Structure 1
């Protein structure tokens, strides 16, 4: 099971060892974005399979970044771990901000998946040479602004900023707030506070900071981070009273820190009209998509209601309210259920009522997390078969339990086989898996008769049936 810890300034260097070589080109794959927006993203991280795995919690929903491999990282193994974590937590395995270069891998991984790419969050990515030179007719506007700035403030200079410049940076923020054009915009003011906190980290080895000076006065500043071949600009701020200072800063910063980079990422526009207009005027090479993959299980796609299945002796169908007494007796038979592998009572998270287990089964199907079949002999419930733990990759687990009064007659094998066949040929799974405790010889014999043994560990024998 993956164990996560919060992203902090103290452990940022551990993330940087992955991000500094990462060529995804998106701002989310950077220390700066994780730190600046941690109150929104709530990022946590761990290292596994040679990869950095980041879990975010946005508006109450858990979503994962695409794994960032180290030199010997295994992305598929990291995705396996994310999916297993989500199975154990009972949450969907949502992979967000997926770079375009990894979208094909996930499309081939998930048979059923909802994919989105919202325009608002696409990053503006520019060729480094374009911002460094502003060459050609399309940049005549930027060149004119720079020329006007240079003619009015001919002695203005750009230089790097570091930890010894905090007093100068603080003075800049005072000047900036005095002429801040969005003072009545709460969202803009919150973003400004975050930017101020980030600039307090100027001088950290993973950040690049620089500013334009009019004499000793700091009039514009920027903070960025190199990730692979991309220079990611986290912050750009300038005094509006200095006409033309923004394109001058952009060009000077690209010239000072762009070496070794093919791209400059100026992040998204967050649907701000002014930002969108400005970023488009700089002629982006591309608006980098950020795909969100929400894998779907086969129940969602193919099963509107639990069907009725018939075998030679049995009928399998959805649980009904009339089944509640017999179903409760089955679920609460501790001696029999020591081989079930799941604590039904503990799983309720509350007191047991007459309808508790029936309601859980109904809710699991409504959420398409499981399909519970009542196993019936001559109309009487004698057991259940449950298809659950859908991995969103064509597989699910099957379990079956039969009332002790009906054990030893082959009813379990008959019910199990019927649901497995339904799952493979009607639900369109490619794989059904099962397991049994090593001490449970009856289940081992039953599973061996209708499935192929897949392996074992200290506790279980594992089986599968594939098509």
Structure 2
């Protein structure tokens, strides 16, 4: 099970082990974005199968970045770890800001999934050489602005910024505040505050800081981070009073820090009209999509009510209030339920009363978490079959228990087969799985009669039935 740790400023070196060579090209897969927007998204991390897994909070819901593999990382195993964690915590495994090169993998993985690709999220990616040279007709405006700037400020120079330049940076923010035109925009004010905090991290080796100097005055600055073949620009600020300083700064920064990167990512525009206009004027090669995958389980798509299933001797149907006494007796038979693998009493979220277990079963179906069938003989509840742990990939687990006084007659096998068939062809699952304790010879015999073996561990034998 994944154990998440909130990301703090002390985690930069650890995160860089994964982000340094990450080829996703999106700003979310960088230390700078995690630091800068940490107070908004509350990112937390875990490791699994040689991959970095980051969990974020967006609009009150937990979502996950796509796993970032290390040198020996297993993305498939990391995705399963996310899914297992979500199943244990009763939520769908929502994978967000998925890069285009991984989107097809998730489309194949989840049979029922809502996918979004919001324009506002998309990052602006430029060819490194385009920003370094501004060559060609489409960049004539940038070249003219740079020429005017160089004419007006012939002594202005670009140079890297280090921790020793923090006093210059602080003075820049004072100058910038006097020219800041969005003081009444809470979002812009908040972003500016975050930018100031980020520039305090010039001592970090994975951040590249640079500034345009006019004499001893800092008039523009930028902060970036290289991830794989992409240079991600986290911050770009300049004094508006110096006409032409922005394109001059963009070009100089790309020339100095571009190196052999393929792409320069100037991040998204946050739906700001001015930012969008500016970023488009610089001629992006493309806008990098960020896909949001929200899988649905099959219950949500196909099952509106628990159906009635009939076998040669049994009827399986929705539990009713009249079943409560018999169901309580089944659930509270501790000696028999040692093989059930789940402590029903411990699973209650409050004190136990006569209706507790019935209400749990009812609520689980309403929440699309499970289908509890009452197994009936001549109309009387003698057991239950439960289809649960929907994995959002077309699979679910099936369990069945029969009251002690009805054991030995094959009722469990009959009920189990009926629900397994319904799961595959009524719910449109592709796989139904089950397990039994190794000491439970009767259950193993029953499962082997209607499913095929699918492995074992120290505790369980596993079985599966496929379409």
Q: TM-score range by the shorter chain?
A: over 0.9
Q: Which range moved further: 163-172 or 297-306?
A: 297-306
Counterpart residue number, 1:94: 94
State whether residues 417 and 450 of structure 1, in contact with CA within 8 Å, keep that contact through their aligned partners in structure 2.
Answer: yes
Deviations 1:428-449 (A, max 9, x none): 1111111111222221221122
Give the Cα separation in 2 of the matches to 1:366 and 1:46: 31
State whether residues 375 and 382 of structure 1, in contact with CA within 8 Å, keep that contact through their aligned partners in structure 2.
Answer: yes
Counterpart residue number, 1:182: 182
What is the CA-CA distance between 1:3 and the residue it aligns to? Answer: 1.5
Give the Cα separation in 2 of the matches to 1:185 and 1:356: 51
Give the Cα separation in 1 of the matches to 2:32 and 2:445: 56
State whether residues 51 and 69 of structure 1, in contact with CA within 8 Å, keep that contact through their aligned partners in structure 2.
Answer: yes
Counterpart residue number, 2:131: 131
Give the Cα separation in 1 of the matches to 2:330 and 2:57: 38
Give the Cα separation in 2 of the matches to 1:196 and 1:344: 53
Deviations 1:84-140 (A, max 9, x none): 111222211111110001111111122221111111100011111111111111111
Give the Cα separation in 1 of the matches to 2:388 and 2:359: 16
Question: How do residues 196-211 of structure 1 correspond to structure 2 at under 5 angstroms?
Answer: 196-211=196-211
Counterpart residue number, 1:236: 236
Give the Cα separation in 1 of the matches to 2:57 and 2:229: 28
Which secondary structure state, in structure 1, belongs to the residue aligned with residue 346 of structure 2?
A: helix
What is the CA-CA distance between 1:77 and the residue it aligns to? Answer: 1.4
Which secondary structure state, in structure 2, belongs to the residue aligned with residue 449 of structure 1?
A: helix
Counterpart residue number, 2:443: 443
Q: Are 1:16 and 2:12 an aligned pair?
A: no
State whether residues 389 and 396 of structure 1, in contact with CA within 8 Å, keep that contact through their aligned partners in structure 2.
Answer: yes
Give the Cα separation in 1 of the matches to 2:372 and 2:270: 44
Counterpart residue number, 1:76: 76
Residues paired across the two proteins, number: 467
Give the Cα separation in 1 of the matches to 2:118 and 2:362: 34
Give the Cα separation in 1 of the matches to 2:369 and 2:454: 24
What is the CA-CA distance between 1:46 and the residue it aligns to? Answer: 2.0
Question: How do residues 369-448 of structure 1 correspond to structure 2 at under 5 angstroms?
Answer: 369-448=369-448
Give the Cα separation in 2 of the matches to 1:320 and 1:239: 71
State whether residues 203 and 209 of structure 1, in contact with CA within 8 Å, keep that contact through their aligned partners in structure 2.
Answer: no
Q: Are 1:147 and 2:147 an aligned pair?
A: yes
For structure 2, the 5+ residue unaligned runs are none
Deviations 1:211-263 (A, max 9, x none): 01110100110000011111100000111111111111111111110111111
Question: How do residues 292-307 of structure 1 correspond to structure 2 at under 5 angstroms?
Answer: 292-307=292-307
TM-score (norm 2): 0.98
Give the Cα separation in 2 of the matches to 1:396 and 1:131: 51
Which secondary structure state, in structure 2, belongs to the residue aligned with residue 344 of structure 1?
A: coil
Which secondary structure state, in structure 2, belongs to the residue aligned with residue 333 of structure 1?
A: coil
Q: Are 1:121 and 2:130 an aligned pair?
A: no
Question: How do residues 250-269 of structure 1 correspond to structure 2 at under 5 angstroms?
Answer: 250-269=250-269
Give the Cα separation in 1 of the matches to 2:44 and 2:408: 50
Counterpart residue number, 1:461: 461
Which secondary structure state, in structure 1, belongs to the residue aligned with residue 307 of structure 2?
A: coil
Deviations 1:272-300 (A, max 9, x none): 11111111111111110000111221212
Which secondary structure state, in structure 2, belongs to the residue aligned with residue 93 of structure 1?
A: coil
Which secondary structure state, in structure 2, belongs to the residue aligned with residue 345 of structure 1?
A: coil
Deviations 1:281-332 (A, max 9, x none): 1111111000011122121222121111000110001112222222222222
Give the Cα separation in 2 of the matches to 1:42 and 1:310: 50
Counterpart residue number, 2:357: 357
Give the Cα separation in 2 of the matches to 1:203 and 1:160: 12
What is the CA-CA distance between 1:198 and the residue it aligns to? Answer: 0.5
State whether residues 387 and 397 of structure 1, in contact with CA within 8 Å, keep that contact through their aligned partners in structure 2.
Answer: yes
Q: Which range moved further: 168-177 or 4-13?
A: 4-13
Counterpart residue number, 1:310: 310
What is the CA-CA distance between 1:413 and the residue it aligns to? Answer: 0.7
Q: Are 1:57 and 2:45 an aligned pair?
A: no
Q: Are 1:225 and 2:225 an aligned pair?
A: yes
What is the CA-CA distance between 1:167 and the residue it aligns to? Answer: 0.7
What is the CA-CA distance between 1:59 and the residue it aligns to? Answer: 2.5
Which secondary structure state, in structure 2, belongs to the residue aligned with residue 126 of structure 1?
A: strand
Deviations 1:397-453 (A, max 9, x none): 000111122122111111001000111112111111111112222212211221112
Give the Cα separation in 2 of the matches to 1:66 and 1:196: 29
Give the Cα separation in 2 of the matches to 1:418 and 1:11: 52
Give the Cα separation in 2 of the matches to 1:254 and 1:455: 55
State whether residues 375 and 385 of structure 1, in contact with CA within 8 Å, keep that contact through their aligned partners in structure 2.
Answer: yes
Q: Are 1:346 and 2:320 an aligned pair?
A: no
Give the Cα separation in 2 of the matches to 1:178 and 1:329: 75
Counterpart residue number, 1:109: 109
Counterpart residue number, 1:326: 326
What is the CA-CA distance between 1:210 and the residue it aligns to? Answer: 0.2
Give the Cα separation in 1 of the matches to 2:451 and 2:140: 71
